[in-house]
Structure 1
C-alpha cells in the first residue's frame, strides 16, 4: 500500500486508488451524495466548469478559489452548502481536490474518502481483494497537508486491522504513525496545527473544519465512473 503525500508524488497508479481532500472537497462530495445528489462532475479549471454549466443549466455549479465561492457559483466548498442537493448533478472545481481526482482518474477503480466515511471506504477496499492500493493526498498548493496525511493514516489503520499481510511503503508507515499519534484530537489538530485548517479558521470557516474532523458520519463510498463521482458505484 502506498500513499502519495502530494499530487506531484503520483506516477504509476495501482488498480485501486483513493483520493483525499479533507479540507474540503472530498468531505463536501461525501455530504452531497449522502444528501441525494445524483452525481458530481469534478473538473480542474474554472473555465471548464462554467462551460459545463452553460451546457447543463439545471446542474449546480460548486467549488472555490482561495477558499471562497466565485460570485457566479451556486455553491461554495463548504460541506454545509451541500445539504439541499437531492436529485441534482453538481459541477465542482476546487483548488486542490478536483485536480487530484483528475490526476488519479485513470485508476481501474477510484474511490473518494474523507474522515466522514473512512471506515466504509476501507471496508470497500478490503472486499475488493486487490493487492495494490494507492492513496492520494490533495495537499494544498502542491505541498503536503497534514489533514490529508492523517486521513490516509486512518484508512490504513482500518485496512490493516482487518486485512492480512498488508505491505506498507515508507510513506504509508508515516501516515499511519501520524494518525496513531494525533488521531484522538482531530478537531484540535485540524484547527490549530494543520496550516490549511488554520487558514480556513481565519477566513471564518472554523465550523467547516470541525465538521470535516468528524469520523464515520456516513457509510457511502463515492466512486469515480466515466467522469462522474457517484454513490456506491450506482
Structure 2
C-alpha cells in the first residue's frame, strides 16, 4: 500500500486511489457531529451560490458552513460542531459549504473513492482503508482556506499514515502542537463568536465516531454517506 500525503487544492487535483480529504478545523468534524446528531444526508458543495440554490429548491434543507470562518448570510448554522450539538437534526438533509474541505471534494476528480478526514473518526478511516486494502492512498490536507498547510490537517495525515504503516503516534503531543500553532485562534477572546474554544476540543475528540463519511453521487450531485466500520 502506497500512502502519500498531499496538500491543498493542488493535492486534491493530483489525488489518486482511495483519497481522504482532510479538514479537521472544522468541516469534516462538523459533518461527523451532524450525522451523530441525526442528520440523514449531507450535500458537500464548493460553491456558495450552489448552496443557496439547493436551499431555494428544497426549503426544508438546512444550510451549514462558513466563509472566512463566519456563517454566511441566511445560513442556519456556522461551520461549528458546538452549534450542532444542541440542535434537533433528526431526519434533516444538510447542505454544507466551507472554504477548505468541501473544495477538496469538488477538486478530487482523479480519485477512485473519496472519504472525509478528521480526528473524530480517525480509527474508522484507518479500519476502512485496511479493509479495502487499496494499492494507492492519497491523504489530502486542505489547510486554511486552501491557502496554506495547517498543523491539524497535516498531523492527522501523519497519524493515519503511521497507523497504516505500523508506526507509533503521540496524539497528546500532536494536540499540544496544534494548540500552540494553528489552533490558537480558538482561544482568542475576540473570535469566540465564530471560533469557540469548545470547537477545538470537539474537533480533537479522538475516535469519537465509529463511521466514515464516503462521497457518493446521485444524478451528478455529491453527497456524504455514513458507513459504519
Task: Give me the TM-score of the superposition, normalised by structure 2.
Answer: 0.87
- How far apart, in 1, do the equivalents of 2:106 and 2:184 lie? 26
Secondary structure, in 3 states, of the residue corresponding to 2:208?
A: coil
CA contact (8 A) 2:14 2:108 kept: no
Match for residue 184 of structure 2 among 182, 190, 198: 198
Q: Aligned partners of 2:112 and 2:125: how far apart in 1?
A: 16
Q: Which runs of 4+ in 1 moved over 4 A?
A: none
Distance 1:94 1:143 in 2: 15
Q: Quick one: structure 1 residues 228 and 188, their matched pair in 2 at CA, closer, same or farther if it must change by over 3 Å?
A: same
Q: Partners of 1:192 and 1:152 in 2: how far apart?
A: 19
Task: Tell me what 2:227 maps to.
Answer: 232
1:99 counterpart = 2:103: yes
Deviation at 1:11, TM superposition (A): 4.0
Alignment-derived partner of residue 167 in structure 1: none
User: Contact between 1:19 and 1:110, CA under 8 Å: does it hold in 2?
Assistant: yes
Cα distance, 1:56 vs structure 2: 0.8
Unaligned runs of 5+ in 2: none
Query: Secondary structure at the residue paired with 2:14?
Result: coil
Q: 1:89 aligns with which of 82, 88, 93?
A: 93
The two structures have a TM-score, normalised by structure 1, of: 0.85
Q: Which of 121, 138, 141 is the aligned partner of 1:137? A: 141
The CA distance in 1 between the partners of 2:156 and 2:70, in whole Å, is 23
Unaligned runs of 5+ in 1: 162-175
Deviation at residue 105 of structure 1 after TM alignment: 5.0
Corresponding residue SS for 1:37: coil
**Structure 2 counterpart of 1:34, from 14, 25, 36:** 36
| Contact 1:126–1:159 (CA under 8 A) maintained in structure 2 | yes
Instruction: Give the paired residue count.
Output: 214
Distance 1:144 1:124, change over 3 A: same
Corresponding residue to 1:115 among 100, 114, 119: 119
Contact 2:13 2:108 in 1 (8 A): no
Which stretch shifts more, 198-207 or 39-48?
Answer: 198-207
